Chain A
Amino acid sequence: MAGSTSLIAEKTFGVTIEKLNKSFDGVPVLKDISLEVKPGEIFVIMGPSGSGKSVLLRHVAGLEVPTSGSVHIGDFNPADPATRQQIHLALVFQAGALFNSLSVYDNLALYPREHRLGNEAQIRDRVMHALQILSLEKAVAQYPAELSGGMKKRVAIARALVMEPQLLLYDEPTSELDPVMSATIIEIIAALREHTAVTTIVVSHDRTLAMSIADRIAIIMDGRIRAIGGVADFEHPANPAIANFLNPTIDLKNPRFKQLENDHE
């Protein structure tokens, strides 16, 4: 029975980042980042585009090696390939990163098949259970190219869920989605944490998402952590840069664009 399969991991991990620096071709992208994510919490990393938040998440996922400093998931170093055999870490990529040559079902079944987590019937139960949670049963035979942006994100979340993650990472889960689908994704993230108690790190510049589901929020700007705190701390931030990022003012007479007016004349 599909409903009888549990996708809840028995253990979850906290994340510790200490004095993390990362440069690409000598250009610093992350500068002296230190933070701690407690086991079971939803930690949202916010920041403007190009501030380094996705690179930071890739370090937690073990996809980047720090130039200096360290990242630890529990006691494990995510950059060490052996760590992946110890920890079930799932990353929901911004564009889904679904395998285009595989159907939705095979995308989800890939992990349990490759790691031999049961026979085909058990794998089917596991996959169908995850699809059911995300209301994707009808998409089971479809290919990623046939899915909408919102469905791709949900399939990517379902694929992460099949892994019984002990650490769940989301990279911009609501980007390029309409407000209704964004709200659905936010609800899914919150519900998954509620029911699985898995440590969740979300990278986003979506204020609604952060304020709705975060236990704590970190603001990263220009590669540096500018503030860490609870949701209440960011409702009326004192720092003008953070305040402007979270509540940008729209100036329709912005003098920066005066030149356009002159060009037009």
Chain B
Amino acid sequence: MKQLNAIIESIGSTVLLAFNSGRYLKTLPRQFPRLIEQCYLIGYTTLPIVTILSFFIGSVLALQSGYSMQNFGAKQLIGTLVGMSMVRELGPVMVAILVTGRVGSAITAELASMKVYQEIDALETMNIPPERMLVMPRLVAVLFMMPVLASITNLCGWFGGALVCKYTAFIAVEPDAYFAALKRFMGAKDVWDGLIKAEVFGFAVILVSCSIGLNTRGGPREIGAAVTKAVVVSLILILVLDYFVTKVLI
């Protein structure tokens, strides 16, 4: 019962944090340098790992599907399979997972440490709401950067798949045929659905990371525990949200 209360309380405080942060949206022009800084941290610093991983995910997807589909003479559809998988599912989910590990954990560690070492209390006594200075710019930044990251993920995954199709002997599908198949069955709705998913996941990850960080109590040991909690909750949330968002969008 005590644990259930704690979970309900956490959900409540996270939702409240989102609303309270939203109240400070009008201060965004003043927070522009912080927004740029967060865009850099969320977008630019995550980019190399996103590029590498998505390239290899596209590659392995093409390899596996080519291996399975050669028996059915359906190799020409590999482009469709890789393209749709990346855009609708793997792209947004993978980016969200990478943002959780690369950015969400760092945000939780930073805010938890600020809380433990009374920097958050100092902000409050200075009448500077942490939601305005620390949360809102991050939430807006992730909304700007997730579509960019998801789009780059898709492109890298597609190109990885195309390269594997061309240079793997038992597949041997030319890039023209690969991209033609990719375009044939994929519409703007698929791309939009993927980007909406990425936005939802990114927003949820950053919100949860901020909430857990700001609600940390205790000493240095609790900072580590908060980071672990934020990563675990974010990963669960991504997969749970994935089901429900997919159900709504299909």
Q: Could you tell me which A residues sit within 8 Å of B by CB distance?
A: 58, 61-63, 84-85, 89-91, 93, 95, 97-101, 110-111, 114-115, 163
Contact = CB atoms under 8 A, between A and B. Distances in A.
Nearest to A86: B127
B122 interface: yes
Nearest to A61: B125
B124 A63 contact: yes
B126 interface: yes
B157 to A, nearest CB: 35
Contacts of A98: 119, 122
Q: DSSP class of B's interface residues: helix, strand, loop or mixed?
A: helix
Contacts, number: 47
A97 B126 contact: no
Nearest to A113: B30
B27 to A, nearest CB: 9
7 contacts: A62-B124, A62-B125, A63-B125, A91-B121, A93-B118, A110-B126, A115-B127
B125 A91 contact: yes
Interface residues of B, number: 14
B127 A97 contact: no
B134 to A, nearest CB: 11
A149 B119 CA distance: 16
Interface in B111-142: 113-114, 117-119, 121-122, 124-128, 133
Given A100-B117, A163-B126, 16 more contacts: A62-B125, A63-B121, A63-B124, A90-B126, A91-B122, A91-B125, A95-B118, A97-B118, A97-B119, A97-B121, A99-B122, A100-B119, A111-B126, A114-B126, A114-B128, A115-B128
Contacts of A101: 110
Contacts of B119: 97-100
A93 B127 contact: no
